[in-house]
Structure 1
Amino acid sequence: MRIAVYIPLLLSLLAPLGVRPLAERCEPRLATWLLTASAFVLGTATTISLGLLAITGLIRFPEPAGLGHWSAHTAQRDDPAELSVALVAGLLLGAAVLMAARMLWRRARTLATAALEAACMPAEDGLVVIEDEAPNAFAIPGLPGRVVVSTGMLHTLDETERHILLAHERAHLTAHHYAFVALTQLGAAANPLLRPLATAVTYTIERWADENAAIATGDRERVARTVGKAALAAHNVPARTPGAALGILGRRTPLAAAGPVPRRVAALLAPPFGRHPVLAAATATVLAAVTLSTAEAAHDLHVLLETVGAR
Structure 2
Amino acid sequence: MNLLVLLALICPWVAVPAARRLADLLPPKAAALSLAGAAVALAGATVLALAVLVGGGLLHLPLLAATERMSLPWLLSTSPAAVPAALAAGAALLVAAALVTRVWRGQRALLLRTRQAVGADADGGDLTVLPGTAADAFALPGSLGRPGRVVVTSAMLRALDKTDRDVLLAHERAHLNGRHHLLARTAQLAAAVHPALRGLRPALAFHLERWADEDAAAVVGDRRLVAAAIARAALAASASGAAPGRQPSLLLAATTGPVPRRVSALLGPAPRPPRGRALRAVAAGLLCVLGLSVTLSVGSAYELHEYVEQAQAVSQGR
C-alpha distance in structure 2 between counterparts of 1:102 and 1:67, whole Å: 37
- Shift in alpha-carbon separation, 1:128–1:241, aligned structure 2, 3 A: farther
- Shift in alpha-carbon separation, 1:210–1:80, aligned structure 2, 3 A: farther
**TM-score, L = length of structure 2:** 0.85
Q: Is contact 1:136–1:234 with CA below 8 Å preserved after alignment? A: yes
- Give the C-alpha shift of residue 113 in structure 1: 4.8
- Deviations 1:16-48 (CA, angstroms, capped at 9, x unpaired): 322442343321111111111111110111121
Matches within 5 A, 1:121-160: 121-142=121-142, 143-160=146-163
Aligned mate of 1:240, from 244, 253, 263: 244
Report the equivalent of 1:257.
Answer: none
- Deviations 1:212-237 (CA, angstroms, capped at 9, x unpaired): 11111121111111111111111142
Q: Is contact 2:216–2:226 with CA below 8 Å preserved after alignment? A: yes
Aligned mate of 2:296, from 293, 306, 309: 293
C-alpha distance in structure 2 between counterparts of 1:85 and 1:230, whole Å: 53
- Deviations 1:149-202 (CA, angstroms, capped at 9, x unpaired): 111111111111111101100011111111101111111101011101022111
Report the equivalent of 1:261.
Answer: 259
Q: Is contact 2:141–2:149 with CA below 8 Å preserved after alignment? A: yes
Aligned mate of 2:271, from 273, 289, 294: 273
Report the equivalent of 1:94.
Answer: 94
- Give the C-alpha shift of residue 119 in structure 1: 5.7
Flag as ranges the 4+ runs of structure 1 deviating above 6 A.
none
Aligned mate of 1:204, from 196, 207, 210: 207
C-alpha distance in structure 2 between counterparts of 1:270 and 1:11, whole Å: 35
Q: Does 1:194 align with 2:197?
A: yes
Q: Is contact 2:136–2:242 with CA below 8 Å preserved after alignment? A: no
Consecutive unaligned residues of structure 1, counting only runs of 5 or more, are 252-259
C-alpha distance in structure 1 between counterparts of 2:110 and 2:64, whole Å: 39
Q: Is contact 1:169–1:248 with CA below 8 Å preserved after alignment? A: yes
C-alpha distance in structure 1 between counterparts of 2:98 and 2:288, whole Å: 30
Consecutive unaligned residues of structure 2, counting only runs of 5 or more, are none
Matches within 5 A, 1:69-84: 69-79=69-79, 83-84=83-84
RMSD over aligned CA atoms reads: 2.5
C-alpha distance in structure 1 between counterparts of 2:92 and 2:207, whole Å: 30
Q: Does 1:302 align with 2:305?
A: yes
C-alpha distance in structure 2 between counterparts of 1:81 and 1:223, whole Å: 60
Partner letter of residue 16 of structure 1? Answer: V
**Structure ID, larger Rg:** 2
% identical equivalent positions: 36
- Deviations 1:119-143 (CA, angstroms, capped at 9, x unpaired): 6652343011122232111111013
Report the equivalent of 1:254.
Answer: none
Aligned length: 303
**TM-score, L = length of structure 1:** 0.87
- Give the C-alpha shift of residue 146 in structure 1: 0.5
